[in-house]
Chain A
């Protein structure tokens, strides 16, 4: 009985409240998620390229691509969370910077469906990478929201720079930026192979 009392008291001493619904990890979860895409140069390059390409293609691609990307990224994230293996994730992410950068550099103007499908295909890889690192617990939604918003803001940064396409010199600057992203993608790929 003494032992039972000792164990119970020890448990009492270390017991913490169930953390399913506390707000304590909220800021940490959001910050962790927000920084996740920003700390990966390959993620940054690809997201900027999505925004640049959207701006280059004009309406409705300028807002369809930033809407399609997070939704398909979520599907990729679900695959990562469920542990469904996806081959060549890092190659897919690096490849997205190369291909999307090239699309901007070459001023490619495919049909909106083709552009959305291409962007969506690469979003699967980005989502899978984020999804496998999604923490369990109370801050999971804050983390997910953090990296989705960071991704969206990178798209907006690309779109912002892409507004330069309205000017003759700006169009060349945007294509040059696309070229730089493609070269960066090539470097990322080179490191992986």
Chain B
């Protein structure tokens, strides 16, 4: 009976942890990782905001920013493999999304080093906040690979859209979108910090 009780208690913990980070129940691994940045609003907003910001700079700088973004994702992957973790990644994603949204709303294009740091920070925060709570290393690796790919693709797509918009109307649309992203992120940040 003692063994049964212990087994039941361990199952209680295991059952909650196994699905704690699945965006859609039943979809894990690489497909789950691919969907993660698209279906977690905080991630999607931060990535779209970064993409819009990248869309305001020249094409070579856009490519460099995306390279920094992808590089930071790989570096974060390495850190996670070395068992580094953080519980504040979601807050950081919201904070960076809000900051990027404010830059867009104010129509400020930061100097490249600042934009590169921002891109690296968003990339790392998204990856650290996407670590699936699964039991196997291979599943974690495939999920994070999917997350890194779709996060880079989403930011790049937003940059392409922003770059393709007409000059004046595009600037206005991006400023308004930036204010929406910043406003949403600021309120949820307040909610998280007040909890």
Interface core residue of B4, B94, B186 (most chain A CB under 10 Å): B186
The main secondary structure of chain B at its interface with chain A is helix
Q: How many A-B residue pairs have CB under 8 A?
A: 131
Least CB distance from B48 to A in Å reads: 11
Q: Is A70 a contact of B183 with CB atoms below 8 Å?
A: yes
Is A5 located at the chain interface by the 8 A CB criterion?
Answer: yes
B41-64 residues with Cβ-Cβ distance < 8 A to A are: 41-42, 45
In the complex, the answer to whether A15 meets B12 with C-beta atoms within 8 Å is yes
Contact with B along A144-173 (1 / 0, CB 8 A): 110011001000000000000000000000
Q: Known A5-B8, A12-B15; judge A24-B20 contact (CB<8 A).
A: no
Interface centre among B20, B187, B195 (most CB of A within 10 A): B187
Also in contact, A148 and B184, with CB within 8 A (given A1-B5, A26-B41, A140-B191):
yes
Q: How far is the CA of A78 from the CA of B172 in the complex (A)?
A: 26
Known: A8-B5, A67-B105. Contact between A15 and B180, CB under 8 A?
no
Give 1 or 0 for each of A12-39: 1 = CB within 8 Å of chain B CB: 1001111011111010000000000000
A8-B9, A136-B195, A144-B187 known; A23-B23 Cβ under 8 A? yes
Q: How far is the CB of B96 from chain A (nearest CB, A)?
A: 14
Total interface residues on B, using CB and 8 Å?
46
State the interface size on chain A (CB cutoff 8 A). Answer: 46
* Closest B residue by C-beta to A152: B180
- Residue A124 interfacial (CB < 8 Å): no
B1 interfacial contact with A, CB 8 Å = yes
**Chain B residues within 8 Å of A, Cβ to Cβ:** 1-2, 4-5, 8-9, 11-12, 15-16, 18-25, 35, 39-42, 45, 90, 94, 102, 105, 129, 172, 175-176, 178-180, 182-188, 190-191, 194-195
List of B residues within 8 angstroms of A74 by Cβ: 182-184, 186-187
Whether A174 is near chain B, meaning CB under 8 Å from some CB there, is no
Q: Is the CB of B8 within 8 A of A21?
A: no
The 3 A-B pairs at the shortest CB distance, nearest first, are namely: A8-B8, A74-B183, A17-B19
